[in-house]
């Protein structure tokens, strides 16, 4: 105990000294920024740091201080910070989660000139209650990933954006590949990726049948939408995929999901553009990224990825806005796209990228995003509805009665909407 | 007693203070908060004000009803059958959803049912998933507690010998306890992997291809037993060590005396070892029961409660509701119910294993 007191005193003195020097060094106003990409596998984290540095150097009013979190812990950290009143000035938010945060009072409208965002991909702009709350530096897209040689070997037509596979054409193509016995499964849906992947990747298929997770005209009911005739047709088709051994089910190994297409376990993989570069490296010109099939109501894929917004408690929204406007430049879009493989939000930025420029290996994804992307239901209840939808799809894949599973999901969703007084719509 | 605890023991209290403060902040206070939240409609994040709702959360979880479905009949009163000859019934949802004639069925769903003549009797639950989780949890505890305790005792007896390198065996049996349960769960997921998993390969090799590969975690029949087997393997080393400490408190002179009297191995175990382990046994049974009720990580990593809710358990549901569905009041209610269940069972166990004089 004797030694503790001087040590403590010295520590306190040191802290005071540091605090004093910090306040001298930063005459500018500090803005805090939270980011979800700590420990990301690609260049994303380094690029965000570079973005912050260049912004700090480009003007003298603001200093952005970045703090990064692992993605899995990020949303919980924001929730806890909001309860404690410790939100940062600038928030990084996943597109479909944004309405929840705006409704819960974590965020304020961006207040950015809408003309600035005129030619952006639709999935990169986050709107809630008629206002723009968030904007993304990239979007993501999903495609039927396969090889030209595979399709040609079985005489399957190669679909285009203008003429995608019909539902029937797609199913019979899968049957043909299965009957050849050359693959363990013809189709890999990514059932190993539980969580947001299910609503992100599979609700567009439901929408193509003519159903949806929720009635988007009111956002108050899912009855007749998630359990209507179109949804039941989707559910029966979905269950058939697993009953007929066209796709591996919920117990799929995550490792198989990652390499199954590359090592020939699966013929076609329903996968995102972030997984596209290894496919191009492995198959070269043979790699194909095909649009979603059209089950009658047009082909659809999910839109929206991570975006920037301003927290509700920020004392300097104009500074936060200045930072976000600084980030919205084609050169940043191109840098992030080249570093991470994600889709740049504007066609002019796409032209500057290695992968999305005309003739680039992933160019097709830009077209997919532009033509097929539909954002997930824009409602604060989405985060709950996504979990309920995920549960229903897993149950149906595992053999549950389709109508009962969809009815139960509808009841759960409506109970939740009621418990939240309609989620402010 | 009171005076000695409070007065002449100031240093003791001082040293206990950090621990007591932490337990009070992170265990006792949250417990009371959970009880309070379970009587409200508290959300994780919401601009809506929190309201007192009484015991509505409890009735939403525990509500049950029995309902008899009568078959559909044609105008002549004949029972309608589909092309397979099965009796056709009206859809249950017609009665449970906004039907003013059956207010007590509102929002309930079929849990299970059986045939009774031409009628079909169904048991409806307000929260079928919770009911399944409750049953699964009890099943898990009923299997894991005795098997794990028994296996741990066998292991403890085996390693309680003076053999060369016995410490190596002790370390090997104890190793799974030290490894993070999440890592163990991931590894076992590979072992149970359908098709080419390790378990399927081993069974195939030993049975010369007679045992077909199974989807261990993807089959409603094998998913929970698979998780039980893995949980027992993971936890058995810990309880082995407790048994071992119990074994080593038994005086060697008793064994010598038994040896001189000519007692058999079984008699020695039955009349010396087992009575000597009495207090250890009480401790182990209570600890395993509590740990088994707290089953969570394995479910979260390996199955997520699936397939078809066959591995839903109470703690997983509490977390799923509280955080994923942002329904803190619902999660709290499950926690409170779990507490009451574990408390009741512990009290019963204490009563059954009390010292009888």
Residues 147-186 of A with CB under 8 A from B: 184
Picking from A251, A416, A419, the nearest residue to B215 by CB comes out as: A251
* Contacts of residue B300, Cβ cutoff 8 Å, sequence gap at least 6: B316, B319
Whether the CB-CB separation of A157 and A222 falls below 8 Å is answered with no
**Confidence bin at A22 (pLDDT 50/70/90):** very low
| Count of Cβ atoms closer than 10 Å to residue A425 Cβ | 14
CATH class of B129-352: mainly alpha
Q: Which has more pLDDT, B52 or A40? A: B52
Are the Cβ atoms of B47 and A82 closer than 8 angstroms? no
Q: What is the dihedral of CA A17, A18, A24, A30, to 10 degrees?
A: -150
Q: Which residues of B touch A104 (CB under 8 A)?
A: 45-47
| Strand, coil or helix: A81 | helix
Rg (CA), chain A: 24
| Strand, coil or helix: A90 | strand
* Residue of chain A whose alpha carbon sits nearest to that of B223: A251
Q: Could you tell me if A348 lies within 8 Å of chain B, comparing CB atoms?
A: no
Q: Could you tell me if B308 lies within 8 Å of chain A, comparing CB atoms?
A: yes
Q: Give the mean model confidence (pLDDT) for residues A280-295.
A: 92
- Cα distance between residue B246 and residue A1, in whole Å: 39
Whether the CB-CB separation of B130 and B330 falls below 8 Å is answered with no
What per-residue confidence (pLDDT) applies to A7? 46
In angstroms, the Cα distances linking B6 to A113, A165, B24, B237 are 69, 80, 19, 39
Picking from B107, B218, B325, the nearest residue to A251 by CB comes out as: B218
Q: Could you tell me if A87 lies within 8 Å of chain B, comparing CB atoms?
A: no
Structure tokens given for B93: 């949802």
Whether the CB-CB separation of B312 and B129 falls below 8 Å is answered with yes
Contacts made by residues A157-164, CB under 8 angstroms, sequence distance 24+: A158/A288, A158/A290, A159/A290, A159/A291, A159/A293, A160/A291, A161/A291, A161/A364, A161/A367, A161/A368, A161/A371, A161/A372, A164/A290, A164/A291, A164/A292, A164/A293, A164/A294, A164/A299
Q: Give the mean model confidence (pLDDT) for residues A374-379.
A: 92
- Cα distance between residue A108 and residue A101, in whole Å: 9
What per-residue confidence (pLDDT) applies to A276? 87
DSSP character for A27? -
**Confidence bin at A57 (pLDDT 50/70/90):** very high
Structure tokens given for B338: 């779990």
**Confidence bin at A5 (pLDDT 50/70/90):** very low
Residue of B48, B189, B309 to mutate, interface with A, max A Cβ within 10 Å? B48
Q: Roughly how many angstroms between the first and final C-alpha of chain B, as a whole number?
A: 25
Q: What is the dihedral of CA A393, A303, A274, A288, to 10 degrees?
A: 80
* Percent share of chain A, pLDDT over 90: 65
Q: Give the mean model confidence (pLDDT) for residues A264-292.
A: 91
Q: Which residues of B touch A255 (CB under 8 A)?
A: 190
pLDDT for A15 beyond 70: no
CA distance to partner chain A, nearest, from residue B145 (Å): 27
Q: Domain residues of chain B, as ranges?
A: 2-37, 64-125, 129-352
Shortest CA distance to A91 belongs to which of A392, A320, A363? A320
What per-residue confidence (pLDDT) applies to B107? 83
Are the Cβ atoms of B109 and A384 closer than 8 angstroms? no
Query: How long is chain A?
Result: 425
* Residue of chain A whose alpha carbon sits nearest to that of B57: A419
A142-301+381-424 shares the fold of A29-139+304-375: yes
pLDDT for A19 beyond 60: no
Q: Which residues of A touch B43 (CB under 8 A)?
A: 419-420
* Alpha-carbon dihedral sign for residues A78, A81, A85, A87: negative
Query: What's the pLDDT tens digit per position in A202-227?
Result: 999 999 999 999 999 999 999 999 99
What per-residue confidence (pLDDT) applies to A20? 44
In angstroms, the Cα distances linking A228 to A96, A102, A402, A403 are 24, 30, 11, 9
CB pairs under 8 A between A and B: 73
What per-residue confidence (pLDDT) applies to B7? 63
Task: Show the beta-strand stretches assigned E in A136-229.
Answer: 142-147, 185-188
Please tell me the CATH code under which domain A142-301+381-424 is placed: 3.40.190.10
Superfamily of domain A29-139+304-375: Periplasmic binding protein-like II (3.40.190.10)
- Cα distance between residue B155 and residue A208, in whole Å: 58
- Cα distance between residue B315 and residue B134, in whole Å: 10
Structure tokens given for A212: 């949806």
Whether the CB-CB separation of A380 and A104 falls below 8 Å is answered with yes
- Cα distance between residue A360 and residue A276, in whole Å: 12
Positions in chain B whose pLDDT score sits under 70: 1-8, 357
Q: What are the beta bridge partners of residue B353? A: none
* Percent share of chain A, pLDDT over 70: 93
Q: What are the beta bridge partners of residue A127? A: A132
Are the Cβ atoms of A411 and B309 closer than 8 angstroms? no
| Strand, coil or helix: A166 | strand
| Count of Cβ atoms closer than 10 Å to residue A331 Cβ | 10
3-state secondary structure chain B: CHHHHHCCCHHHHHHHHHHHHHHHHHHHHHHHHHHHHCCECCCCCCCCCCCECCCHHHHHHHCEEEEEECCCECCCCCECECCCCCECCCCCHHHHCCCCCCHHHCCCEEEEEEEECCEEEEEEECCHHHHHHHHHHHHHHHHHHHHHHHHHHHHHHHHCCCCCCHHHHHHHHHHHHHCCHHHHHHHHHHHCCCCCCHHHHHHHHHCCCCCCCCCHHHCCCCHHHHHHHHHHHHHHHHHHHHHHHHHHHCCHHHHHHHHHHCCCHHHHHHHHHHHHCHHHHHHHHHHHHHHHHCCCHHHHHHCCCCCCCCCCCHHHHHHHHHHHCCCHHHHHHHHHHHHHHHHHHHHHHHHHCCCCC
Query: What's the pLDDT tens digit per position in A221-269?
Result: 999 999 999 999 999 999 999 999 999 998 888 888 989 999 999 999 9
pTM above the 0.90 mark? no
Q: Which residues of A touch B306 (CB under 8 A)?
A: 250, 394-395, 398
* Contacts of residue A216, Cβ cutoff 8 Å, sequence gap at least 6: A377, A378
Q: Domain residues of chain A, as ranges?
A: 29-139+304-375, 142-301+381-424
């Amino acid at each position: 105990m004797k030694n503790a007191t001087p040590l403590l005193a010295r520590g306190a003195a040191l802290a005071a000294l540091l605090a004093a020097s910090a306040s001298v060094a930063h005459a500018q106003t500090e803005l805090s920024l939270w980011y979800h990409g700590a420990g990301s596998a690609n260049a994303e984290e380094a690029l965000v740091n570079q973005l912050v540095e260049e912004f700090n150097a480009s003007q003298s009013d603001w200093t952005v201080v970045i703090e990064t979190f692992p993605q899995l812990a990020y949303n919980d950290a924001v929730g806890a910070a909001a309860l404690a009143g410790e939100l940062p000035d600038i928030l990084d938010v996943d597109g479909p989660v944004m309405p929840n945060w705006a409704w819960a009072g974590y965020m304020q409208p961006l207040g950015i000139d809408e003309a600035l965002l005129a030619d952006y991909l639709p999935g990169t702009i986050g709107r809630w209650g008629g206002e723009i709350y968030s904007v993304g530096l990239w979007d993501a897209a999903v495609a039927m990933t396969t090889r030209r040689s595979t399709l040609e070997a079985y005489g399957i037509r190669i679909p285009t954006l203008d003429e995608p596979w019909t539902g029937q054409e797609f199913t019979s193509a899968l049957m043909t590949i299965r009957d050849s016995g050359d693959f363990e499964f013809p189709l890999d849906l990514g059932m190993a990726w539980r969580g947001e992947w299910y609503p992100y990747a599979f609700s567009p298929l439901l929408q193509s049948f003519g159903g949806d997770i929720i009635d988007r005209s009111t956002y108050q009911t899912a009855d007749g939408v998630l359990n209507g005739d179109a949804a039941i047709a989707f559910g029966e088709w979905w269950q058939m995929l697993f009953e007929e051994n066209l796709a591996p089910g919920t117990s799929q190994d995550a490792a198989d999901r990652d390499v199954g297409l590359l090592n020939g376990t699966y013929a076609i993989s329903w996968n995102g553009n972030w997984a596209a570069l290894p496919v191009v490296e492995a198959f070269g010109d043979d790699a194909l990224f095909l649009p979603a099939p059209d089950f009658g109501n047009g082909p659809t894929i999910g839109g929206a990825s991570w975006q920037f917004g301003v927290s509700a408690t920020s004392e300097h929204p104009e500074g936060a806005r200045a930072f976000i406007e600084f980030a919205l430049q084609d050169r940043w879009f191109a840098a992030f796209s080249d570093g991470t493989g994600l889709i740049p939000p504007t066609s002019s930025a796409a032209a500057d990228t290695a992968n999305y420029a005309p003739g680039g290996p992933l160019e097709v994804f830009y077209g997919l995003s532009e033509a097929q992307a539909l954002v997930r239901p824009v409602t604060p209840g989405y985060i709950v509805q996504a979990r309920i939808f995920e549960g229903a799809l897993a149950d149906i894949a595992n053999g549950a009665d389709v109508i009962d599973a969809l009815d139960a999901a509808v009841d759960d969703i409506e109970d939740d909407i009621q418990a939240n007084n309609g989620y402010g719509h | 007693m009171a005076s000695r605890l409070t007065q002449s023991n100031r240093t003791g209290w001082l040293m206990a203070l950090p621990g007591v403060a932490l337990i009070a902040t992170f265990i006792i206070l949250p417990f009371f908060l959970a009880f309070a939240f379970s009587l409200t409609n508290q959300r994780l994040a919401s601009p809506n004000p929190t309201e007192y709702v009484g015991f509505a959360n409890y009735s939403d979880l525990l509500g049950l009803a029995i309902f008899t479905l009568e078959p559909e009949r044609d105008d002549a009163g004949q029972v309608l059958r589909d092309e397979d000859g099965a009796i056709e019934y009206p859809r249950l949802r017609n009665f449970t959803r906004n039907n003013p004639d059956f207010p007590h069925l509102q929002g309930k769903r079929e849990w299970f049912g059986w045939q009774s003549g031409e009628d079909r009797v169904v048991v409806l639950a307000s929260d079928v998933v919770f009911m399944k989780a409750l049953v699964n949890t009890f099943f898990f505890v009923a299997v894991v507690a005795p098997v794990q305790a028994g296996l741990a005792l066998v292991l403890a007896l085996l390693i309680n010998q003076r053999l060369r390198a016995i410490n190596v065996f002790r370390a090997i049996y104890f190793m799974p306890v030290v490894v993070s349960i999440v890592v163990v769960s991931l590894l076992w997921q590979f072992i149970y992997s359908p098709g080419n998993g390790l378990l399927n390969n081993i069974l195939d090799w030993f049975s010369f291809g007679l045992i077909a590969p199974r989807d261990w975690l993807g089959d409603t029949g094998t998913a929970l037993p698979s998780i039980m087997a893995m949980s027992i393997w993971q936890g058995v080393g810990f309880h082995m060590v407790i048994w071992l400490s119990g074994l080593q408190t038994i005086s060697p002179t008793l064994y010598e005396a038994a040896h001189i009297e000519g007692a058999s191995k079984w008699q020695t175990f039955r009349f010396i070892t087992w009575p000597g382990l009495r207090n250890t046994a009480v401790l182990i049974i209570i600890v395993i029961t509590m740990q088994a009720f707290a089953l969570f990580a394995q479910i979260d990593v390996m199955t997520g409660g699936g397939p078809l809710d066959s591995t839903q358990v109470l703690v997983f549901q509490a977390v799923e509701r509280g955080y994923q569905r942002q329904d803190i009041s619902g999660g709290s209610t499950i926690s409170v119910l779990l507490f009451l269940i574990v408390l009741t069972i512990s009290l019963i166990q204490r009563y059954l294993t009390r010292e009888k004089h």
